[in-house]
Structure 1
Amino acid sequence: MNILISKQSIRVSSALVVTGLLTLASSLAFSQPIAPDGATEAPAAQAAPQLPSLASPEDSQADSGAAGSEDSQAADDNAYDIQEGLQAFEEQDYEGALANFTDGAMKGHALAQFNLALMYHNGIGTEADYERAMQLYALAAQQGMTSAQFNLALMYDRGEGVERDFDEAYYWYMQAAEQGDASGQYAIGTMNFYGQGRPTDYEEAIRWYQEAARQGHRDAQYNLGVMHLSGMGTEEDPVVALTWFTMAADNGSADAQYNAALMYAAGSGTEQDLDKAVGYLERAGEQGLRDAQTRLGMLYVSTNTADFPRDYEKGRHWFNESAHQGDPLGQFYLGRIYAEGLGVEQSDKIGHMWYEIAMRFGHEAGREYMLDLRSRMTSTEVEEAEVMALRWMIAYAVRNPGELQLRQETQDGRPQGAPQDNGQGSGAPQPGNAPGNNGDNPQGQPQLPSPVIDQPRTAS
């Protein structure tokens, strides 16, 4: 089983915080339903970055560690008023906000120290200065402010303003975690899982994931599903795994929705329920998870029962969605839809186009089907199809710079250096079909990616 990681992000206030997203993702898979040799619109633009939400006195009531600091601030309101800084920031008077927070920070106010650190960290109203941000986070963290403890840990975690230090990161995550901070608890669980700052300890990872999961942390819930499904630190238990996946899915995790769907489709940990499987797949697909989109397409074109009749139109829709996100399997099946006229007007040219694209993205069966289709096409039709494929790939490369590496063909149409197709689909392993995975059982070991992102994010 592949375990994927999404990324952690800086929190920006004690109440409005960004949860760390070091997500362990499991990619389950089931058999491809169309052919034994088998095998969307462009991705939505990313939302514009938002300014961070600063910590306010009201936030400190939700940040258990800042309560004592706030008491001292309340007793000294005449000397310092943080509201002036917050208002200046809201009005984008960053010079005024910096002056106010600097005054408060020098007087020992944790909220002012935190907000000033945030401005230096993000380079708002001043040049970004990680060392200064770290110093200010440390001052607030030492007063028990959990958001400052978390952000300080994160800077050690990813080496901002200091050499990367998992030991220090672990210490400060733990300070936040022990005060009940869900993101800190999640980070501690993840560091135990990967052996960062200490030896790998799956049981300890489970303990801290459970603490965070009880507070509704969906990535902790998801990770618990992965660990119970795989028997990491606990007995393999698909029933418990499905429970955690379902909780995370209902909290909006697309990966959990995908895994829950596949478990319902296979009857793993529950009775088989195709309606629930499709429901969860559609939720994941609507969030843009391309594996879910491809699996939906497979279900709609391959299943034909009284309760679930075949629907080529829906199948084509979901293959189109995943194909435009660069999924070779979706591209291959979209080619078959057009080449065989399944619910659409038959078109050798469009079929050839998608077979070629799938081949260029690493799907060996795409080459074989393309060459077979080419045998009944005129040279003009082949040239037109190749131009269509080239135009699509150029547009994709523009949308996704640096992602597409086209494979070169020899004169016989075989890609150079292409792996041999094993008859199960793409020669290159795809998400949801790990190397050695026959589509029934999760296999493989987790990979260790970087646990952070380059820029902080904010939460609504």
Structure 2
Amino acid sequence: MSFKSRLAALFSSKGKLDHAIRLTESGKTVQGFALLSRLAAAGDGEAALRVGRAYLDGIGVPPSLEEGARWIYQSAKTGHIEAAFVLATLYTVGLPEGFEIRPTHEGLDLSHVPSAGPRHPDFHLGIHWARIAAEAGSPDAQALLGYILTNGPEDLRDPAQARSWYDRSAAAGCSQGHLGVALAILEDARTDEQLAAAARHLTEATKGGLGTAFDILGRMYESGSGVPRDLGRAATCFHEAAERNIVTAQARYGLMLLEGTGIRRHYGRAETWLKRAATNGDTQSAALLGDLCANGGDLPPNLVEAARWYRLAAEQKHAGAARALGLLYLTGSGVHQDPDVAAHWFKVASESGDTHADADFGNLILAGASATADEKQALHARFEKAAEKGDLVGAYNLGVCYAEGVTGEQSGREAARWMQKAADGVVNAQYWYGRMLLEGRDVQPDPTQALYWMEKAADAGMAEAQVAVAGLLVDGNINGRRDHEKALTLYRNAAESGNVDAMFSLAALYGGGHDVPENRPQAQIWFRKAAQRGNGLAQMMLGRYLCRGLAGVTDPVEGRIWLERAKAQNIRDAEAELALLDEAQPDDDD
């Protein structure tokens, strides 16, 4: 080419466009953008596309959706295929409410267009531009057209046509097309061959770096669907998807790191990924982080952090997290103690389907937590609905409502009816119903059946029932049945679970006078445990043991301390013991 020809080419539209592109690619974005803008204004479709992309990406110019859309539209109107695809994508992803791209004699009217706000897809305009680009041979547009035909409004959906466009896109090597084909196959997959075909397309899609493809392929490797089960490859896929901000993959990868599934266990990295997932809206990850902080994993428990993560999940109606947060407020653990706030979160958990939270909410209302009449009635209605469907926990909760008038109406007869139903599977109901039968509360007294139900609750590990049954077995008040050995076992089990009354009663059995071997050192140990927890009778007995040396060691100084504490609780025998102790002390003048 002659110098004159080369000079002419440089000043031609194409030459100017090539020069602008070189400027941009060499880092001179401002100069390149200025030249592209002049060419775009003169009607060059490629230049208009590049100007639009510059505005959308903020390259060489402040980012602007409005200006980007304006120039992309102008490029598409010239017949530029890629611009038509980009415009279709903008419409499909969604533009701010009120945003309208419409031509005027000056190009586009954007004077009344909002610059931000929620996105609202316009699939009808999207499919118009996607079809133009797809029919012109754009593989990306073909995949987008398949997506709209699959996921758009009902009047646009056409699965068969969508599959055809996905196939054409995939055949051209488009990753999005392969993903579309895989999803179409999985929608109706019935055979291993179909699953395997989907896996092959997903594998091709991952070559384009598609996070969704990595995520789905990871689940297939995890379950062995369409591919051999391989937890290591599953973890790798989830990691790739997580890095691409696929929230479900972040959660799954974090859990695999936490459990050491398919990958070496690493608590710190697990926590990092779970936090990313939780921050990105995965409520299950937020709830799990709350559990980890509350229970302590590789680190000590941190209830303040637990409350933070539970709250994040609870605010998104995660039932378990809402109940856990309610328990923290109820006990003042990691947060200030506030029964009313606890009741709020129990209510959230209850309304989100946690039946145990119903009971928690009811118990708080019973204890005096604030609740409106409507809230109480709604609680009663939920209990009643669950109970009538055969839910035993619901039956128990309804029984409590009737027994205590928690939600308004009080009826011992109805309480007994629902408690009896619940007793078939709810430990608390077994104990409650047993007590009703024992005391004859709104039912015909039946000591034999009372002991039967209370013993079931005791055998299930309910400490309160263990103490009650043990007392009945010590006294032999029901059908003359005495069994001090079993009573000792029941008291010990309840005591070891922290029941103070059981600690005292266990010590009393060990102290002698019963049908079990006397063991006063053990008696003193359990009297001390109960005394340290504020039991006045145990304080008196511990003082007596120490002052008299009943367990082999005499310590009148400590004994007096415990007797004084018992006296402060109005334990009359403590006064007598102190009097004896004073009489035994020699006068100072002697």
TM category (shorter chain) comes to 0.5 to 0.7
Matching of residue 354 in structure 1 with residue 354 in structure 2:
no
Q: Counterpart of 1:335? A: 399
Q: How far off is 1:76 after superposition?
A: 9.6
Query: 1:263 is matched by which residue type in structure 2?
Result: L
Q: How far off is 1:236 after superposition?
A: 1.5
Q: Counterpart of 1:234? A: 299
Residue of structure 1 aligned with 2:197, choices 132, 138, 145: 132
What is the 5 A alignment of 1:406-425?
Answer: 420-424=459-463
Matching of residue 285 in structure 1 with residue 350 in structure 2:
yes
Structure with larger RCO (C-alpha < 8 A, sep 6+): 1
C-alpha offsets along residues 93-152 of structure 1, whole Å, 9 cap, x if unaligned?
322222221121121112221111112112089999211111111111121000111010
Tell me how far apart the structure 1 counterparts of residues 190 and 161 of structure 2 sit (CA, whole Å): 9
Unaligned 5+ residue runs, structure 2?
A: 1-87, 95-132, 467-495, 500-590
Query: Does the C-alpha gap of structure 1 residues 101 and 206 become closer, same or farther in structure 2, counting only changes over 3 Å?
Result: same
Tell me how far apart the structure 2 counterparts of residues 378 and 211 of structure 1 sit (CA, whole Å): 59
Tell me how far apart the structure 1 counterparts of residues 464 and 395 of structure 2 sit (CA, whole Å): 12
Matching of residue 368 in structure 1 with residue 434 in structure 2:
yes
Equivalent residues of 1:332, 1:366 under 8 A apart: no
Query: Does the C-alpha gap of structure 1 residues 418 and 178 become closer, same or farther in structure 2, counting only changes over 3 Å?
Result: same
Q: How far off is 1:371 after superposition?
A: 4.1
Tell me how far apart the structure 1 counterparts of residues 159 and 498 of structure 2 sit (CA, whole Å): 57
What is the 5 A alignment of 1:42-53?
Answer: none
Q: How far off is 1:86 after superposition?
A: 3.7
TM-score by length of 1: 0.61
Query: Does the C-alpha gap of structure 1 residues 275 and 152 become closer, same or farther in structure 2, counting only changes over 3 Å?
Result: same
Q: Counterpart of 2:160? A: 95
Query: Does the C-alpha gap of structure 1 residues 314 and 286 become closer, same or farther in structure 2, counting only changes over 3 Å?
Result: closer
Q: How far off is 1:296 after superposition?
A: 0.4
Query: 2:431 is matched by which residue type in structure 1?
Result: A
Equivalent residues of 2:304, 2:335 under 8 A apart: yes
Aligned length: 335
What is the 5 A alignment of 1:177-216?
Answer: 177-216=242-281
Report which of the two has the higher share of helix.
2
Q: Counterpart of 1:274? A: 339
Matching of residue 162 in structure 1 with residue 224 in structure 2:
no
Tell me how far apart the structure 2 counterparts of residues 411 and 352 of structure 1 sit (CA, whole Å): 12
Q: How far off is 1:337 after superposition?
A: 3.4
Q: Counterpart of 1:294? A: 359
Q: How far off is 1:77 after superposition?
A: 4.9
Tell me how far apart the structure 2 counterparts of residues 141 and 324 of structure 1 sit (CA, whole Å): 51
Tell me how far apart the structure 1 counterparts of residues 454 and 227 of structure 2 sit (CA, whole Å): 46
CA-based RMSD of the aligned residues comes to: 4.2
Query: Does the C-alpha gap of structure 1 residues 194 and 323 become closer, same or farther in structure 2, counting only changes over 3 Å?
Result: farther
Unaligned 5+ residue runs, structure 1?
A: 1-55, 63-73, 383-409, 428-435, 440-460
Equivalent residues of 2:319, 2:348 under 8 A apart: yes
Query: Does the C-alpha gap of structure 1 residues 155 and 419 become closer, same or farther in structure 2, counting only changes over 3 Å?
Result: farther
What is the 5 A alignment of 1:403-442?
Answer: 420-424=459-463
Tell me how far apart the structure 2 counterparts of residues 145 and 322 of structure 1 sit (CA, whole Å): 45
Tell me how far apart the structure 1 counterparts of residues 245 and 144 of structure 2 sit (CA, whole Å): 27
Tell me how far apart the structure 2 counterparts of residues 293 and 239 of structure 1 sit (CA, whole Å): 25
Equivalent residues of 2:326, 2:344 under 8 A apart: yes
Query: Does the C-alpha gap of structure 1 residues 134 and 374 become closer, same or farther in structure 2, counting only changes over 3 Å?
Result: farther
Equivalent residues of 1:371, 1:413 under 8 A apart: no
Query: Does the C-alpha gap of structure 1 residues 370 and 328 become closer, same or farther in structure 2, counting only changes over 3 Å?
Result: farther
Residue of structure 2 aligned with 1:85, choices 132, 139, 146: 146
Tell me how far apart the structure 1 counterparts of residues 454 and 462 of structure 2 sit (CA, whole Å): 17
Equivalent residues of 1:293, 1:322 under 8 A apart: no
Query: Does the C-alpha gap of structure 1 residues 437 and 193 become closer, same or farther in structure 2, counting only changes over 3 Å?
Result: farther
Equivalent residues of 2:250, 2:273 under 8 A apart: yes
Per the alignment, in what secondary structure is the counterpart of residue 129 of structure 1?
helix
Query: 1:298 is matched by which residue type in structure 2?
Result: N
Query: Does the C-alpha gap of structure 1 residues 174 and 86 become closer, same or farther in structure 2, counting only changes over 3 Å?
Result: closer
Select the structure of larger CA radius of gyration.
2
Tell me how far apart the structure 2 counterparts of residues 248 and 309 of structure 1 sit (CA, whole Å): 25
Matching of residue 116 in structure 1 with residue 181 in structure 2:
yes
Query: Does the C-alpha gap of structure 1 residues 232 and 77 become closer, same or farther in structure 2, counting only changes over 3 Å?
Result: farther
Query: Does the C-alpha gap of structure 1 residues 411 and 421 become closer, same or farther in structure 2, counting only changes over 3 Å?
Result: closer
What is the 5 A alignment of 1:19-98?
Answer: 57=89, 77-80=136-139, 81-89=142-150, 90=152, 91-98=156-163
Query: 1:334 is matched by which residue type in structure 2?
Result: L
Residue of structure 2 aligned with 1:223, choices 279, 288, 292: 288
C-alpha offsets along residues 290-314 of structure 1, whole Å, 9 cap, x if unaligned?
121111011111236xx67999757
Query: Does the C-alpha gap of structure 1 residues 288 and 375 become closer, same or farther in structure 2, counting only changes over 3 Å?
Result: closer
Equivalent residues of 1:105, 1:116 under 8 A apart: yes
Tell me how far apart the structure 2 counterparts of residues 294 and 220 of structure 1 sit (CA, whole Å): 26
Equivalent residues of 1:358, 1:366 under 8 A apart: no
Equivalent residues of 2:149, 2:162 under 8 A apart: yes
Equivalent residues of 2:457, 2:465 under 8 A apart: no
Query: Does the C-alpha gap of structure 1 residues 135 and 438 become closer, same or farther in structure 2, counting only changes over 3 Å?
Result: farther
Tell me how far apart the structure 1 counterparts of residues 440 and 311 of structure 2 sit (CA, whole Å): 46
What is the 5 A alignment of 1:382-421?
Answer: 420-421=459-460
Q: How far off is 1:216 after superposition?
A: 3.4
Tell me how far apart the structure 2 counterparts of residues 213 and 182 of structure 1 sit (CA, whole Å): 8
